[in-house]
Structure 1
Amino acid sequence: MEPILTINNLTKKFGYLTAVKDLSFTINKGNVYGILGPNGSGKSTTLGIVLNVVNKTNGNFHWFDGNTTTHDALKQVGAIIERPNFYPYMTAEQNLKLVCRIKGVDHSKIAEKLEVVGLLDRKDHKFKTYSLGMKQRLAIASALLNDPEILILDEPTNGLDPQGIHQIRQIIKDIAADGTTILLASHLLDEVEKVCSHVVVLRKGEKLYSGRVDEMISSHGFFELKAEKHDQLIQLLEAHSNFGKLKIEDDLITAFLNEPMSASDFNKLMFDKGILLSHLVKRKESLEEQFLQLTDNLETNQKTA
C-alpha cells in the first residue's frame, strides 16, 4: 500500500490539557478514512497539526514517502477545516478564479470541479444567495481545484439539513471513486459507517481503534429474545459458550454472540431444551454499539489501572 500520511506517537498539549496523546496511524492511498470521536476528542487538533496550522508537542508525521517537505506536500493536499470563506457579492465562478490565482491553477478546472459538486448551473449566482449546503459544496470544489492526492474535511456535514447531508456524502463517495484519498473528521457514527472504508476512533486524544470499518463491525451479532420460561432461558444462555454479554430489559433478553449461529439453529436448540420462544430476532451490531463498547472498555481499563 502506498502511504499518503504517516503519524507516529503524535502528542499535543495546551498547557495542562493533552488534546492528542501518543497517536499513531497511517493513511494509505485510495481509501476514505474517518477520524471519529465526540467533540473534544482531538480530531481537529490532529488535522491542524498535519496541515501545519497547529504546532505539535511531541512525535512526528510525514507526507507520502517522507522525502517531501510538509510545505511541498501540502501543495498536493486539498483541505476544508473551517467554515467556507468566500466573497459574498461575487459569483461562485469569480470566487473560484481568485482561488485559482492563489493556487496557480488554470481557470479551465473551475467548470470541471463545479460539475463534481453539482453547482455548474449556479456558477453565475452570488455566494450570498447560496444555502449552507451549497456553500459547503463550493468549498469542496475550491479544495479540488489543484487535483489533490488527498482531500481533508473537518465535520463536512455539520449544521446541514438531511438533503444537504445526503448530497455531501454522495459527493465524497464520488470523489473517492475517482481515486482521491479522503480523510474526514466527524462526530457522527452514522456518517463514518456510510462513507468511510477505514476509521480511527479517538476519545480524549487517545486512539481506541484503527482499522477497517467493516472489521470493526464484524461481530457475530446478537439475538433479541422473549420466552415464557424467562429465567430458564437466561440460565441456558449464561451456560452456553456461544454467548457472551447478556442485556436484560423487562422481558426482553439481548444475547451477544461469541461465535456464528443462525436464528434457525438457535431456535431448534431452544426447542430441544424445552423452551418455546415468543420473540426471536437476529441483528448485527452497528458502529454505534461497537463505539460504546470501545468506550466502556477504555473506562474499565482506566479504573483498573
Structure 2
Amino acid sequence: MNSILTINNLTKKFGYLTAVKDLSFTINKGNVYGILGPNGSGKSTTLGIVLNVVNKTSGSFKWFDGNVSTHDALKKVGAIIERPNFYPYMTATQNLKLVCKIKGVDYAKIDEKLEIVGLLDRKDSTFKTYSLGMKQRLAIASALLNDPEILILDEPTNGLDPQGIHQIREIIKQIATKGTTILLASHLLDEVEKVCSHVIVLRKGVKLYSGRVDEMISSHGFFELKSNQNEKLIELLHNHPSFDKVVVTPDLITAFLKEPMKSEDFNSFLFDKNIILTHLVQRKESLEEQFLQLTDNQ
C-alpha cells in the first residue's frame, strides 16, 4: 500500500500538559480515516503538527515517501482545520479565484469543485448569504481546488443542523469514491461509523485503538430477550457456552454472544427447553458500545 502519512512516536507538550503522547499510525492511500476522541483528546493538535502549524515536542512524521519537504508535500494536501474564512461581500466564484491565485490553480477548476459540493447554482451569491452548511461546503470546494491526494477535515460537521450534517457526510463519501484519501477528526462516533473505513481512537493524547472500523465492531452482537420464564432463561444463558455476558434489567435480558449464532437457531433451542420467548431481537454492537468498552478499560 502507498502510505500518504506516517507518524512515529509523536509527542506534544504544552507546559505541564501532554496533548499528544507517543502517537504512531499510518495513513494509506485510498481510505477514509477518522481520528476519534472527545474534546481535549489531541485530535486537532495532531492535525496541526502534520500541517506545520503546531511544533512537535518529539517524535517524527513524514509525508508520502519521506523524500519531499513538508512544505512541498503540503502542496498535495487539502485541509480545513478552522471555521471557513472567506470575504463576506464577494461571491463564491470570486472567493475561489483568490484561492486559485494563491495555489497556482487554473480558474477552470472552480465550477468543477462547486458542482461536487452542490453549490454550482449559488456560485454568484455572496458568501454572507450562505448558511453555515453552505459555508462549510464552500470550504471543502476550496480545499479540493489543487486536486489534493489527501483531504484533511477537523470536525467537518460541527454546529450544523441534521440536513447540513447529512450533506457534508455524503460529499465526503463521494470524494472518497474518486480515490482521494481522507483524514477527518471527530468526536462523533456516529460520523466515524458512517463515513470512515479506518479509525484511530484517542483519549487524552494516547492511542487506544487503530485499525478498520468494521474490525472494531466485529463482535458477534447480542440478543435482547423477554420471556414469561425469566429465571429459567437467565440460568440457561449463564450456563450456555456461546454467551459471554448476560445483563438483566427489570424489563429486558441482554445476552452477549462470543461466537456466531442465528436468532432462529437460538429460538428453536429455547423452545426445545420449554422456554417460550415473548421478545427476541438480534443486534450488532455499535461503534459507540465498543468505544465505551475501550475507554472504560483505561
On whether the aligned pair clears a TM of 0.5, the verdict is yes
* CA drift at 1:272: 2.4
CA distance in 1, matches of 2:292, 2:25: 21
Could you tell me which residue of structure 2 aligns to residue 147 of structure 1? Answer: 147
Partner of 1:209: 209
Q: Which runs of 5+ in 1 are unaligned?
A: 299-305
Indicate the residue corresponding to 1:23 in structure 2: 23
Task: Note the C-alpha offset of 1:232.
Answer: 2.2
Superposed CA RMSD in Å reads: 1.0
Please state whether the residue corresponding to 1:268 is helix, strand or coil.
Answer: helix
Aligned twin of 2:43: 43
Written as runs of structure 1 = structure 2, the 5 A alignment for 1:210-289 is 210-289=210-289
Residue equivalent to 1:183: 183
TM-score by length of 1: 0.96
Q: Matched residue of 2:295: which SS?
A: helix
Q: Could you list the runs of 5+ residues in structure 2 that have no partner in the other structure?
A: none
Q: Which string of whole-angstrom CA distances, capped at 9 and with x for unpartnered residues, describes residues 51-83 of structure 1?
A: 011111121110001111111100100000000
Give 1:276 shift. 1.8
TM-score (norm 2): 0.98
CA distance in 2, matches of 1:128, 1:176: 29
Deviation of 1:228 after TM superposition, in Å, equals: 2.2
Q: C-alpha offsets along residues 91-139 of structure 1, whole Å, 9 cap, x if unaligned?
A: 1111111111111111111111111111111111110011001100000
Task: Kindly state the Cα deviation for residue 271 of structure 1 after the two structures are TM-superposed.
Answer: 2.1
Distance in structure 1 (CA, Å) of the matches to 2:137 and 2:291: 29
In 2, the alpha carbon distance for the partners of 1:241 and 1:21 equals 40
Aligned residues, how many? 298
Give the equivalent residue in structure 2 for 1:74: 74
Which residue does the alignment assign to 2:295?
295
Residue 122 of structure 2 corresponds to which residue in structure 1?
122
- Tell me by how many angstroms 1:85 deviates: 0.4
Corresponding letter in the other structure for 2:181: T
Letter in 1 for 2:100: C
Give 1:278 deviation, angstroms: 1.7
| Aligned-residue offset at 1:231 | 2.1
Q: Which amino acid aligns with 1:73?
A: A
> One-letter code of the match for 1:86?
F
Amino acid at match of 2:7: I
What is the distance in 2 between the residues matched to 1:196 and 1:58?
Answer: 29
The aligned counterpart of 1:301 is none
Conserved? CA contact 1:230–1:251, under 8 Å: no
- 1:303 maps to none
